[in-house]
Structure 1
């Protein structure tokens, strides 16, 4: 083994040891040229309109498709993974219509902050040891982390398009480190999905037009997090009580049987976010929302979009006890809240009650709110 090879091995081993020391469950290495299929797949995804209103995906297409466009000097890409597996099946809350379902990943501190902080520690020590330049990314830059993770051997992109690991199932947070150092690459992982359709069949809104393809416009995670306006009326009932994200396709993956629950030193759900009462969440004003979700990724969508989501859950609950709060929200300052309150009340009230309530409200200043009342009256 040459001196250069020994140095590469020492740096690679050092980096992986640092990753383990900082609490990462997996750390593998690939190169910037390892995802040649990404540009065409991304172009097809965007051409089909599957990205919905996420315009930033099209705006950053070139950088997203090729890591070398993002940073021309990169020679090695290190992908880190942290397990956030839940202790129990997160779908249990779906059978509790008075409770709200929050995606597992959002039930604790914002993972971006946790992982980026630890990545920076690893990067600092690695740069000091090897003298190479480094950049770290956690979901906020145009990096195709899942294809890179598959190329690095952390797992494979399953039929639900998410990363699946033989040792951790579908419950992994990803982060990456780009470096000018020439490190020893790991072998990619092959696809182990076989003919399994568990994740595809579990989707309540049929968001997968084909295996390995997702239409974000029908995905509950996109609709409740990224989408800002009114949600397609044809999908609202299917959303059920999911108010932030959706774990159904992840939780259905058979490979989860190999995934251990996240340890105390990592990411453990806050008790009050596991299955919060819909009635309590409907009462949150902006300060209350910010306080309740302090440090949580839920806070990023803002109170109005959040209450919009909770109102869908209220409308699907069948709980007439929520009518009083929904009635107050029908006069909310935010149009998206007023409109969804109208829909929720149309589901909770009798036809005659709703017609009486809606009388005189079809002249709302907002076009979308007016449309909600007109649609609800027609359907009732």
Structure 2
């Protein structure tokens, strides 16, 4: 099509969805670039301080509230869903094995950012080739209210756990967006909230981070504590973390809608290095070189080696008493920086306390 031809936007929208499926996306929707209701909710969330140390959330709030400010000329947002569950050890089985390390299911394979950004960029290029316009792809890489846009584009509804939920696919999926200057026909939101009276996610959250329906206090959320927080994990929350060392999936695992979750066929999402079923002690004994080797191309690497040890130390403190664990903690104690050492000290105290209880029972 020449750059001066007027595209058939209805046909183009249909083609975009077909091209998206060819690129591995399970659902493509098109919505308006106006996100005022969701921007207002973000502002209220920030005003409550629920973002904790994630200063970038408030620093770039204006760009989240105005798509045109982020990408000039944007009138539509194309939202894309890609499912990521790709096998591995059963999540609940790992959570119920306190000597094992639980890693959020999304992080078991390769980092999703590169894969999805590449696919979305290919889709954006194809749209531009066919119809012109200005387009920009995003995958959790810029201030975009992705769940809000996805809800507006008919990909699902935002549940009480603040996750986007789809009635045919649950919530085990990634989202990505293309900002476009083309006034494509809009997909009506297909689903209002279907959470009803269910409060499974609120009741099951280990640290009670879901402080009210649709409101998550990140400062209590295990995903925030293990990934976003750079300093010490609050002492009062450590025991509730159990063996969760990178992220947390509890609010998804108990969501009834996830019985409809779709398995992914993407090889990049297949668990690597047995991280779906590894012992806490084994991971804690990795050297920094091993950590860098085993997490190459993984979202886990972003937290760095010290925070990896910090999180594992908490998990080891919560594990049943084991002389091998206590020995490993004591040996590592002198090798680490102060922040990590403080968590190791806590874990040692927890292990010693359990040992004392065992001894008193004899």
TM over 0.5: yes
Root-mean-square deviation over aligned CA pairs: 1.8
Name the CA distance, whole Å, in 2 between partners of 1:44 and 1:89: 37
Q: In the alignment, what sits opposite 1:22?
A: 23
Residue 340 of structure 2, aligned match among 317, 330, 337:
337
Q: Which consecutive segments of 4 or more residues in structure 1 shift more than 3 A?
A: 86-89, 350-353
- Is 1:83 the counterpart of 2:86? The answer is no
Residues 258-315 of structure 1 show CA distances to partners (whole Å, capped at 9, x for unaligned) of: 1122225562222611021111111122211100111110011100001100000000
Q: Give SS of 1:195's match.
A: coil
The alignment covers a number of residue pairs equal to 349
CA distance in 2, matches of 1:219, 1:273: 22
Equivalent residue for 1:258, pick from 251, 257, 260: 260
Bigger mean CA offset, 240-249 vs 125-134: 125-134
Alignment partner of 1:294 out of 293, 296, 303: 296
**Counterpart for residue 8 of structure 2:** 7
Displacement after TM superposition at 1:140 (Å)? 1.3
| CA distance in 1: counterparts of 2:39 and 2:207, whole angstroms | 27
CA distance in 1, matches of 2:44, 2:267: 40
Question: 2 CA distance for matches of 1:269 and 1:52?
Answer: 30
Return the offset for 1:10: 2.0
- Range that drifts further, 20-29 or 41-50: 41-50
The answer to whether the Cα contact below 8 Å between 2:75 and 2:181 also exists between their aligned partners in 1 is: yes
Equivalent residue number for residue 152 of structure 1: 153
Match in the other structure for 2:58: 58
Equivalent in the alignment of 1:323: 326
2:359 aligned partner: none
Residue pair 1:50, 1:215 contacting (<8 A) in 2 also? yes
Q: Is the 8 A contact 2:73 2:134 kept in 1?
A: no
Secondary structure of 2:133's partner? coil
Contact 1:145 1:175 (8 Å CA) reproduced = yes
TM-score (norm 2): 0.93
In the superposition, relative to structure 1, how do residues 6 and 67 fare at CA in structure 2: closer, same or farther (>3 Å)? closer
The 5 A counterparts of 1:119-130 are: 119-130=120-131
Looking at structure 2, the residues matched to 83 and 65 of structure 1 have their Cα atoms a distance apart, in angstroms, of 27
Q: Highest relative contact order (Cα 8 Å, sep 6+), 1 or 2?
A: 2
Moved more, 326-335 or 162-171: 326-335
Query: Residue 206 of structure 1 corresponds to which residue in structure 2?
Result: 208
Tell me the residue number matched to 1:182: 183
Within 5 A, what are the aligned runs for 1:234-249? 234-249=236-251
Distance 2:182 2:243 in 1: 47
Q: Unaligned 5+ residue runs, structure 1?
A: 354-380
Show structure 2 runs of 5+ residues with no match.
357-362
- Alpha carbons 2:146, 2:175 under 8 Å: kept: yes
CA shift for structure 1 position 76: 1.2
Instruction: Tell me the TM-score normalised to structure 1 length.
Output: 0.88
Q: Secondary structure at the match of 1:349?
A: helix
Alpha-carbon distance between aligned partners in 2 of 1:255 and 1:333, rounded to the nearest angstrom: 43
Structure 2 partner of 1:279: 281
**CA drift at 1:190:** 1.1
Give the Cα–Cα distance (whole angstroms) in 1 for the partners of residues 202 and 177 of structure 2: 28
Distance in 2 (CA, whole Å) between partners of 1:64 and 1:91 is 35
d(CA) in 2 for partners of 1:270, 1:73? 41
Q: In the aligned structure 1, how far is the partner of 2:116 from the partner of 2:48?
A: 32
The match for 2:352 is 349
